[in-house]
Chains A and B, each alone.
Chain A
Amino acid sequence: MSMRDALAVAALLSLVGAEAQAEGPGLGRAASASEIALFDISIGPDGAGLPPGAGAARQGRLVYEARCIGCHGEKGEGKPNDRLVGGFGTLKDGQAAVKTIGSYWPYATTVFDYVRRAMPFDAPKSLTDDEVYAVTAYLLHINGLIGEDAVVNAQALPRIEMPNRGGFTLYTPGK
């Protein structure tokens, strides 16, 4: 959907919402900036929300080998869980699609966001921000997207061009 369509739909439905609106007792209490900072872990595709810190693949390999290898294989080849590497060129023409960070994920920021919130499976949120930057760099490196010593931080991460960035079409109903 285009931004203009989105605006039109939002305008239309906000009218519907107004009609059905129930008035609440106003019991939400004000959230402080520090509370919000504690809760707000999401990272936008433009890098909004990325914390201070940095890492490169060379350190990230150590994080990966200590925390990730058991589920994702020696170098991200997968088994027992998701494959993280390769699969380039497999999305077209009815091939067995191998959807990995390298072949499928449109934004590098999503790697940081997901690893920091949900990985490793047995101890999510246990990595430091530097470790998350480093292991993100390692996953991008083993996909051939950045060098082993390329520093990944809040400025660099959203600028990394993912091969499948243009591979998504917004759905229109009926298709």
Chain B
Amino acid sequence: MAFGMIGTSDAPAVADAAPGRRSPVALLLLLPGVAYLALFFVVPFVSLIVTSLKAPDPFGEIGRYVYAFRWENYVEVMTTYWPHIARSFGFAIAATIIALLIGYPIAYFIGVKLRRFPLLQALALVLVIAPFFISFLLRTFAWKQILADEGPVLGVLQSLTILPDDARLTGTAGAVIFGIAYNFIPFMTLPIYTSLERLDLRYLEAGGDLYASPATTFFKVTLPLSMPGVVSGTLLTFIPAAGDYINASSDFLGAPDTAMIGNVIEANFLRVENYPVAASLSIILMGAILLLVGLYIRRAGTKDLV
């Protein structure tokens, strides 16, 4: 949805084609998109709001709710689940920063250093995307096995006495953040790569000619020019990461005390059949993401968003 908002700021591009009036053809072309949004976003959204205000059926079969205007649902879920909401955003921000720190150098290497070797560049890009050839679930499950109590990583860390004997890796906040960061690194790397790939190297030369140190050149030239990629990369990572419930699930890398808001929503939707709670949490999550992303975009600017 955030992208819908971003899109509107670029809307004048459409008007350029037929200056002075709005072309009916352009509207017609918009129709599939609008219809799609109406069908798969507006309708479910309305239904979600309606569900979030339902009250339990007084005649008590589990999973049955009646139409109501029970706004207390929101108050109740906020008081019960605020730690989960806070944790979700904490984990998502941490994972986004880690993914940025890892993804940026990769993107820089592929987009700038490998520019002279198109074949290697293509190969490196394939390697970035390669994890997608295997299901997200399977990859996360593989990490669970690698980080497991009887797995190789913990064993090595313990025999080097870096970690005490009773330490665990799975089921910790660290493992969840690691899992999210790992899963979203390609989403971070690719947009930054597209920005850096267009970077004119003569700017860097100019920076050098003006006696800027490499670090100054990077912060004054390279980074600002790659900001569009950084902004879209962070959004593509942060938004899904905040709603993630796979990594944090205790079936994968998490434990009950690392549960994120997605896990609470899942439990309420699928196990307890408490649809109003799940729906109001979903709306709170959506609102919170919208707010944070809105503030971020205001600060970072969206003019050249890729």
Do A and B belong to a common assembly?
A: no
Interface of A with B (CB < 8 Å)?
A: none
